[in-house]
Structure 1
Amino acid sequence: MMPSYFFAHGAPSLVLDVHEYTSFLKSFAASMPTKPKAIVLFSAHWEHPTQQVSAVPSYSTIYDFSGFQDELYRMTYPAQGNLALSDEIRTLFEQHGIPSASDGQRGLDHGAWAVLKLVFPEADIPVVALSVNRHLTNEQQYKIGQALGALREKDVLIIGSGGTVHNLRRVNWRAESAEAWAVAFDHWLREKLEAWDTESLFRYRELAPYAQEAVPTTEHFIPLLLAMGSGDENKRAKPLHRSYQYGTLSLSSWQFD
């Protein structure tokens, strides 16, 4: 069964950066036991009150950021869609009582293409992009991921792209190490994920140290719960990488078996 993954996407410039996390992402595909037949990706940068399922034959590239290197605005990730898989996803959502809608126009935002360009630079695997909804409960987020778990048996790779610690207001562009509160939050998170303690994870904003600082808004944290939910059958979480960028952006990756 194909594992599911959570990848932090950091700043938009991640795709140009050279550090231990980008090295990890660039070597990741070679570590996979088999090449995915398709990729289903939840991006923190596509928010919608109704679960959206992309249904496009091919993707444009969205530059949903400003003030970065000119090179970023020339990059493309011309992935193909998979309309049959889009329909299958909507059927799974319907079977689990999750309202959804098809989107036949939207391209890939940087939460999607920056990660995919590092991991699968050839853009030769079909992609179905999905939105997130910060107004749902954490348990509902988990159940959305859980509804898609059966896709893993078909070698479909499910990815959540966001950030466990993502505080843009406290970014220090010159920081050489992480803020202590960011590390404390991620440490608590690791304990709960490895124990598959969903009761605590669903209440992380009450229970985790420095949760308000680490997760001032929830859209970047949600993809972690979505990816985790898709691994509900076996309930195994494995940390793959953790480093930090600009003091308050956690560059972490998790595998859910």
Structure 2
Amino acid sequence: MMPSFFIAHGAPLLAIENNIYTKFLHALGIALPKPVAIVLFSAHWESATQKVSDVEDFETIYDFGGFPAALYQIKYPAKGSGLVTNKIEEVFTKNEIPFEVDNRRGLDHGAWVVLNMLYPDADIPVISMSVNPNLPPEAQYKIGKSLSKLREENILIIGSGGTVHNFGTIKFGSENGDADQWAVEFDQWLDRHINNWDLDTLFNYKSLAPAADLAVPPHGNEHFIPIFYAMGAADNERTGKLLHNSYRYGNLSHSVWQFGV
């Protein structure tokens, strides 16, 4: 049984840096059993209807600007898996989850920054998945839950985003590792309720979590919600643990939660 994960992809610069967080992700990729495929929900692929990739050879998308030239030289030439895409189609059809298959879109940085640190050889098939910020958390969780059986086939499910991700509060000149107290309190609240698998409270994070309006700003929940897809994939076990938590620029969170096993 493969666990599922929520992994913060942080700023694109992580792809060319060597710091405490990148070291952790490299080590995590080595420690995990090698999956037969990876299903990844990216905060940077939003759609009203759930999208499922069926791409033979992924292009690397540079969906950012103004960064060092070295970042644009990185390629992550992952391949897809028609077999796994078909499994997902069958599961979604059975669970009456509307979806569309996409056979053109490459991997955005929410996907390849994480994947390149976990599995730099790009030798594991990837199925890229969109997220829908307009769905209620219960529906996002349900989509992840429908895929839980894939974990029994050694398929790794990842939600890639960031629990605290607000460009209005980020202090880009701050690299001393200090974190804003409100960001820490939000993540601590989140961890506590994940440990208890308190779905009713988590689904109502907007009104119940401290500093939720700062951590998850209005019209900016696309980075937070991948956690519900990843949690749903472990609904049969309902166990979660925080593996890593650090901050950059004052409040940009680098968090990794493992769900199941």
Shorter-normalised TM range: over 0.9
Runs of at least 5 residues in structure 2 that lack an aligned partner in the other structure: none
TM-score (norm 1): 0.98
Alignment partners' CA distance in 2, 1:132 and 1:203: 18
Tell me the residue number matched to 1:199.
200
Alignment partners' CA distance in 1, 2:40 and 2:185: 28
Tell me the residue number matched to 2:143.
144
Alignment of 1:98-137 (within 5 A): 98-137=97-136
Alignment partners' CA distance in 2, 1:234 and 1:100: 26
Runs of at least 5 residues in structure 1 that lack an aligned partner in the other structure: none
Alignment partners' CA distance in 2, 1:68 and 1:124: 27
Residue by residue over 1:195-250, the C-alpha shift from the partner in whole angstroms, topping out at 9 and shown as x without a partner, is 00000000000000000000011100111110000000010001100000111210
Q: Structure 1 residue 52: deviation in Å?
A: 0.2
2:236 aligns with one of 229, 233, 237: 233
Alignment partners' CA distance in 2, 1:109 and 1:35: 22
Tell me the residue number matched to 1:4.
4
Alignment partners' CA distance in 2, 1:234 and 1:48: 29
Alignment partners' CA distance in 2, 1:183 and 1:119: 25
Alignment partners' CA distance in 1, 2:138 and 2:116: 31
The AA in structure 1 aligned to 2:183 is A
Q: Structure 1 residue 102: deviation in Å?
A: 0.3
Q: Structure 1 residue 19: deviation in Å?
A: 1.3
TM-score (norm 2): 0.97
Alignment of 1:158-237 (within 5 A): 158-175=157-174, 176=176, 177-216=178-217, 217-237=220-240
Alignment partners' CA distance in 2, 1:100 and 1:84: 17
Alignment partners' CA distance in 1, 2:252 and 2:17: 14
Computed over aligned residues only, the root mean square deviation of the Cα atoms, in angstroms, reads 0.7
The AA in structure 1 aligned to 2:243 is L
Residue by residue over 1:149-205, the C-alpha shift from the partner in whole angstroms, topping out at 9 and shown as x without a partner, is 000000000000000000111111122211111001001001000000000000000
Alignment partners' CA distance in 1, 2:188 and 2:242: 11
The AA in structure 2 aligned to 1:135 is N
The AA in structure 1 aligned to 2:28 is F
Conserved in 2, the CA contact under 8 Å of 1:168 and 1:248?
no
Conserved in 1, the CA contact under 8 Å of 2:30 and 2:118?
no
The AA in structure 1 aligned to 2:16 is L
> 2:179 is paired with a residue of what secondary structure?
coil
Conserved in 1, the CA contact under 8 Å of 2:46 and 2:132?
yes
Tell me the residue number matched to 2:252.
249
The AA in structure 2 aligned to 1:180 is Q
Q: Structure 1 residue 142: deviation in Å?
A: 0.5
Tell me the residue number matched to 2:68.
69
